[in-house]
Amino acid sequence: MKIARADLLRAENNTISIDESIRFEPEAFARMHNIRSVPDVHVSGEIHYDVVSERAYADLSITGVMIVPCSITLDDVEVSFHSESEEVFSFVKCEDADVHEAKGDVVELLPVIFQQILMEIPLKVVKPGIKEYPKGEGWKVIREEDLQEEKEKEIDPRLAKLREFKAED
């Protein structure tokens, strides 16, 4: 998604509306372990050009679905996301870290959208309806509730010998 300054100047009130669907190639996420793909992204909003400051202001709404690995089974899990973003692009050299520099006379929205999507990745996702947790030789994954039950049933080894005593009347 590239928008030229000339297009912004020709637009009514120097504002262009955005309403597009985007697809990212799988290679974009090849080196990332916390996200597998983003098959469906929809971007809407508008971008306004201020002639005096030579800056473009973009108000974006980004929605879609991402595929992330389950934290327990590593199976694919679909997660919906929604992000609101207000971005500023400068057509002149700027030292402000919050302002993106336009490349020549073109505003590139795709890298900004990609960064917004990466910020929406959840830290931990568990696939709903897991019936059997993974286990191996000498280890197993258990639920937190099961761990608490085991701890409650467990007898303190220091007091275990007391079970052998029989109370006599």
- CA distance linking residue 6 with residue 145, whole number of Å: 61
Per-residue pLDDT of the chain (169 residues; tens, 9 = 90+): 888 888 888 888 888 899 999 988 878 888 888 899 898 899 999 999 888 888 889 999 999 999 999 888 888 899 999 999 999 988 888 787 788 888 888 888 898 999 999 999 999 888 888 777 778 888 888 778 888 888 888 877 787 777 777 767 5
Residue 47 and residue 99 in one domain: yes
Instruction: Give the pLDDT of residue 50.
Output: 86
Q: How far apart are CA 87 and CA 100, in angstroms?
A: 8
Q: Using an 8 Å Cβ cutoff, are 5 and 103 in contact?
A: no
Q: Are residues 115 and 141 in the same domain?
A: no
| Neighbouring C-beta atoms of residue 118, cutoff 10 Å | 14
What local confidence, expressed as pLDDT, does residue 120 receive? 92
Sign of the torsion angle spanned by Cα atoms 48, 50, 51, 54: negative
Beta carbons within 8 Å of 43's beta carbon, 6+ residues apart: 1, 18, 19, 20, 21, 22, 60, 61, 62, 109, 113
6 & 55 share domain? yes
Euclidean distance between CA atoms 13 and 41, whole angstroms: 28
Predicted pLDDT of residue 5: 84
pLDDT of residue 169: 57
Phi, psi of 108 (to 5 degrees): -100, 115
Q: Are residues 69 and 146 in the same domain?
A: no
Total count of domains within the chain: 2
Q: What is the pTM of this model?
A: 0.75
- 103 belongs to a structural domain: yes
Task: Give me the pLDDT at residue 98, please.
Answer: 82
Q: For residue 153, what are the domain limits?
A: 135-164
CB-based contacts of 42: which residues, under 8 Å, 6+ apart?
A: 20, 21, 22, 62, 63, 64
